[in-house]
Each structure stands twice: as structure tokens, then as C-alpha cells.
Amino acid sequence: MTAALALARNGFRAVVLEQAERLEETGAGIQLSPNAARTLIELGLEDRLRPLATAPAALRVLNAASGREIVRMPLGEAAAARYGAPYWVIHRGDLQAALAAAVTRQLDITLKLGMRVEDFVAYPKGITVSARGKAGTTEERGVAFLAADGLWSTARNRIAGNEPPRFAGRTAWRSLVPAREVFPEFREPLIHLWLGRDAHLVHYPVKAGRAINVVVITADSWNTPGWSEPASRADLVPRLAAEAWAPPARALVGLPEAWLKWALYDRRPLTRWSKGPVALLGDAAHPMLPFLAQGAAMAIEDAAVAAQCLAQNPDDAAAALQTYSATRGPRARDVQRLAARTGARYHLGGVGGEVRDAAMRIMGGKHLLHHYDWIYDWRPPPAFSIG
């Protein structure tokens, strides 16, 4: 939907084909770092997002076993001043609803739900995409096809070969807790990140502070693909042993009875994301582990750049998408790689964990933030400025 909005901003008509019958709340939070927030704001979404988003004052990193704070990386006003855009956290359903409302208002965008893309055929001057819905198969014709079909992308097989996603040996467990049930300090506008051996915990307020989004990532051999397998407190809590997890963290994880779990996968960086008038976008192009909270942010950046490249070269979609792929590839690859390395660091135990904590403490919160400048300070290349 972000890509469709960016395309409409650049004078194109866009059709969004989504296999889901309904846009439903997917019960989890999402961090929108300034690089993502800036792009969404430039697309006119600020008024819809700001009332629902929280701008956390800091990322508070804690040692899971001792419960002691390692470092506090300033966000809030510090991030807004440094990057010219906010660092937000928001419920995914609220982000999706804001995008859907903007898409619905935009006459140049048609959102077609319950339509599963099954095939596409490229011609010298365009593309035909076939999609199946309840009423049968229909065809859409256009100048370009942006395939944003996620980690298990089938379009990717046509562009880059059939190498399957790689299981990362980890599970993400997600739940939402009513804010009134948690310790008052966990209701504060902060992102809490607890680092433990082979596991970490992240929580922050969403729904304008009414709920707390809780995510635990554990080492695991469970590798069933999919988004949302039901799980229970009894499955999760024993994985966070009392000697390795401070009581407030265990108490928080012990609150919800129902969890959803999700096996983590990524893929090797691709050298090329486009073929003729077809290009991959988002997780289809660069699925990454969630340790930098950048997967959706990269998809949002992709959307802006793809639209801008097509606007600059509207008569040659293949060349435009080649430029898009060349522009985006190195950055997405660097973020994918750093996400994987960050995961390994987060889950260190013993001496390795102590060294990591000491290094973060010495670095201090302000420098830790500056360390991420190359990610958060991103803006579309000036030649491509939106609108």
C-alpha cells in the first residue's frame, strides 16, 4: 500500500492485488524508525499516524539476568532533532488502517482484496498479471509489476531462482497485554530490550499507551513456516529460567495466557531484484531477521525509491526498475547482514555477554544512537524527491 501511495504521488495509477479477503489487525507492534516515519510522513500519513503512535523517549537496554540497565539510547526528541523525523512505535493494525484509509481516498489506487496473483507475463512495453479471486481469474495490465509478496515470495523464484528461505533457529513469540496490568515503569514511553543468553525480550506501549506489545525471541528448532501459530504461556515461560531472567521480566512474560509464535527465516542478499518490468519489493527482495527492527522500514524505503525511479523513466519501466534495484540493493544487503550479526550479539551469554554489555556501557546511549545514523538518517535520493 505504501508503494501504491508513492506511485500515485508520482502520477501513476496503481492496482493493489492482495490475497487476503480482509485487512485484519495482525496483533503485534512495529517500530517505525525515522527513515520509515519520514517516508510515511512525506506520503501524507502524519495526521493519521501521530495520534496512534508512541514516540518512545529512549531504548532502554537491560541485562536479563541482573535486571540492571546497561545503556539508555535516547530516541524521542533527540531522534527527531537529529534525523528530522520521529522514531515511532505503533500497532500493526493501526499502521495498516492508516495506509488503507489513505489508499481508499486516493482515486488513482484500486485495492483489490481476495485476489491471489498466480502468474505474470512481460511484453516489450508492459506486463499482464493474472490473479484469482472468488469470481475467477482476472487480468491486470500495466507498465510495471512490483511484487511485494513477502518472505515466501513466489515472484522471487521467477526473478532470482528457487533458493528457499533459511531457517534462523529462532522463534518470535508475540502478545499484547493491557497496559493497566503491567508494572508502572513498563507503561512509560520507552522501548525495553532485555538481553539474555539465547533469548531476548522487547516491549513497548502501543494503541496510544493502552496496550503493551511484548515480543520474546528464543533459540528454537521449531521451523514450521507461517505467521501466527497459537502458543501458550506454558510453552514460553519455562524457556526463561528464573536464574537467567530477572523477576520483572518473567512477571511480564507470565501475564498473557495466549501467544502467537512465528519461526524466523531470512534469505541470502540478492544481487538483482528486477527482470524487465517486474521488480521485488520488501521481504520478497530482502527478508531479514528482526533484530534491527528494519524489515518493514526497508520495504517503505523501497516503495519510495521504486516510485521515484519509475517517475523518472516512465517510458522504460525495465530501465527504471534496474535503477531501483541498483539503488536499493547495497543498502538492503548491509541492513540484512547487520541484522543477522546483531542477533548473534543479542543472544550472547557468559563472558561474551559481559564483554557486549561493557562495550555498550562504554559507548553510551548517545554514541549508540549515532552508530545507527546510516540507517535512520536515510532519505530518498534528492533527484527522486517524492511528489
Ligand X SMILES: Cc1cc2nc3c(=O)[nH]c(=O)nc-3n(C[C@H](O)[C@H](O)[C@H](O)COP(=O)(O)OP(=O)(O)OC[C@H]3O[C@@H](n4cnc5c(N)ncnc54)[C@H](O)[C@@H]3O)c2cc1C
- 54 DSSP 8-state letter: B
* Catalytic residue list contains 372: no
**Helix, strand, or coil here: 202?**
strand
> Binding to ligand X by residue 301, rule CB under 6 A?
no
User: What is the nearest approach in angstroms of ligand X to the Cβ of residue 78?
Assistant: 19
**Helix, strand, or coil here: 355?**
helix
User: What is the nearest approach in angstroms of ligand X to the Cβ of residue 296?
Assistant: 3
Binding pattern for the stretch 75-104 against ligand X, x by CB under 6 A and - elsewhere? ------------------------------
Residue type, 207: K
User: Considering only residues 252, 299, 309, 369, which one is a binding residue for ligand X as defined by CB under 6 A?
Assistant: 299
User: Considering only residues 49, 190, 297, 339, which one is a binding residue for ligand X as defined by CB under 6 A?
Assistant: 297
Q: How far apart are CA 173 and CA 253, in angstroms?
A: 10
User: Considering only residues 58, 148, 263, 320, which one is a binding residue for ligand X as defined by CB under 6 A?
Assistant: 148
Q: How far apart are CA 6 and CA 377, in angstroms?
A: 20
Pick the closer one to ligand X by CB: 33 or 308.
33
Q: Among residue numbers 328 through 387, which ones bind ligand X (CB under 6 A)?
A: none
Q: Are 114 and 133 in contact (CB under 8 A)?
A: yes
Of the candidates 83, 87, 123, 204, the residue annotated as catalytic is 204
**Helix, strand, or coil here: 178?**
strand
User: Considering only residues 4, 5, 6, 17, which one is a binding residue for ligand X as defined by CB under 6 A?
Assistant: 17
User: Considering only residues 20, 121, 251, 359, which one is a binding residue for ligand X as defined by CB under 6 A?
Assistant: 20
C-alpha cell at 295: 524489515
Strand partners, 190: 58
Burial of 184 (0-12, 13-18, 19+ CB in 10 A): exposed
Q: Are 4 and 18 in contact (CB under 8 A)?
A: no
User: What is the nearest approach in angstroms of ligand X to the Cβ of residue 281?
Assistant: 7
User: Dihedral through CA 371, CA 377, CA 381, CA 384, nearest 10?
Assistant: 150
**Helix, strand, or coil here: 50?**
coil
User: What is the nearest approach in angstroms of ligand X to the Cβ of residue 66?
Assistant: 25
Q: What are the strands, taking DSSP E only, across the chain?
A: 14-18, 29-32, 58-63, 69-74, 88-91, 109-113, 116-123, 126-133, 136-142, 145-147, 166-178, 190-196, 199-206, 211-219, 229-232, 258-266, 274-275, 278-280
Q: Among residue numbers 246 through 275, which ones bind ligand X (CB under 6 A)?
A: 262
User: Considering only residues 296, 309, 360, 386, which one is a binding residue for ligand X as defined by CB under 6 A?
Assistant: 296
Among the residue ranges 96-104, 106-114, 282-290, 315-323, the one whose residues contact ligand X (CB under 6 A): 282-290
User: What is the nearest approach in angstroms of ligand X to the Cβ of residue 89?
Assistant: 8
C-alpha cell at 292: 534491527
Q: Among residue numbers 156 through 185, which ones bind ligand X (CB under 6 A)?
A: 172
Among the residue ranges 231-239, 279-287, 353-361, 365-373, the one whose residues contact ligand X (CB under 6 A): 279-287
Q: How far apart are CA 357 and CA 345, in angstroms?
A: 10
Pick the closer one to ligand X by CB: 154 or 312.
154
> Binding to ligand X by residue 219, rule CB under 6 A?
no
User: What is the nearest approach in angstroms of ligand X to the Cβ of residue 293?
Assistant: 3
> Binding to ligand X by residue 295, rule CB under 6 A?
yes
Q: Are 118 and 105 in contact (CB under 8 A)?
A: no
Q: Which residues are designated catalytic? A: 204
Binding stretches for ligand X (CB under 6 A): 17-20, 30-31, 116-117, 148-151, 154, 172, 215, 262, 282-284, 290, 293-297, 299
